[in-house]
Amino acid sequence: MSSYSFIYIGGYNVLSNHEIPLKKKSIVFIGFMGVGKTTIGELIANKLDRDFIDTDVEIEKEYQMPITQIFNTLGEEHFRKKEKEFITKLCQERFHVISLGGGAFLQEEIRNVCMDNCIVIYLHLPWDSWKNRFPLIIESRPVLQGKSMGEIEEIFNKRQEVYSKNHFKIECEHLSAEEISTKILESLKNIKG
Ligand SMILES: Nc1ncnc2c1ncn2[C@@H]1O[C@H](COP(=O)(O)OP(=O)(O)OP(=O)(O)O)[C@@H](O)[C@H]1O
Ligand SMILES: O=C(O)C1=C[C@@H](O)[C@@H](O)[C@H](O)C1
Ligand SMILES: [Mg+2]
């Protein structure tokens, strides 16, 4: 029998639904497009010597096409269904570092399965900093394409509500990926179990 402590993080009882030792749980990164989930996830996986899984990349591999093409040919609804199936299954596994697509947490089932089975880390940037990421990502993010900055800001603000379900919020403004990963590892050290 494993021994572990109950712990409340961000007001949420991490062990409330499943008795999974915290050290075995997969770590899941959430946050708006371009905040750095893929970049930071990969770094943390290397530092913890865990597998890294980026759900967008896995879906692209399965369909043999970029997300933009999946949206254009099969539609967003199809993508969201696949994203839900993939993440729900993945969350039953342990010891991974997982970076979700920026819209995955829009689906309640995904929020619940991640919160119940994994440690969820929200990477946050304020809008003014995020704007600098826009040119880096616009080509490969169909949700942003054809929209004005005003419309994107509206989506950005609306999405903050869904990301508010998390175990840790990490402020990323003015920090390099390396500095953010150090901050995350410090937070994880405080978890017992
Ligand atoms: N801390 C950082 N400082 C500066 N640039 C960064 C930082 N983290 C990531 N980037 C850059 O921002 C861009 C977006 O990063 P990344 O692809 O990791 O975001 P994401 O959250 O995975 O986005 P998506 O949800 O669309 O998959 C990349 O060009 C990356 O190099
Ligand atoms: O925020 C979103 O809605 C998305 C983010 C990307 O990671 C991809 O999952 C896709 O482009 C949709
Ligand atoms: Mg990504």
CATH number of the domain to which 134 belongs: 3.40.50.300
Q: Does residue 2 fall inside a structural domain?
A: no
Residue 24 is predicted with a pLDDT of: 85
**Residue 88 assigned to a binding site:** no
Q: Does residue 192 fall inside a structural domain?
A: no
Percent of the chain with pLDDT over 90: 80
Does residue 188 surpass a pLDDT of 90? no
Which is nearest to 169 in space by CA: 132, 125, 103, 131? 125
pLDDT tens digits, one per residue of 8-54: 555 554 544 455 677 789 999 999 999 999 999 999 999 999 999 99
**Atom 9 in ligand 2: which residue has the minimum CA distance?**
101
DSSP conformation class of 146: T
Residue 14 is predicted with a pLDDT of: 54
Q: How many domains does the chain have?
A: 1
Q: Residue 178: which domain range?
A: 8-185
Q: Does residue 28 fall inside a structural domain?
A: yes
pLDDT tens digits, one per residue of 108-133: 999 999 999 999 999 999 999 999 99
Q: Does residue 159 fall inside a structural domain?
A: yes
Q: Does residue 119 fall inside a structural domain?
A: yes
Of the bound ligands, which one is closest to the alpha carbon of residue 59?
2
Q: Does residue 190 fall inside a structural domain?
A: no
Q: Does residue 149 fall inside a structural domain?
A: yes
Q: Does residue 89 fall inside a structural domain?
A: yes
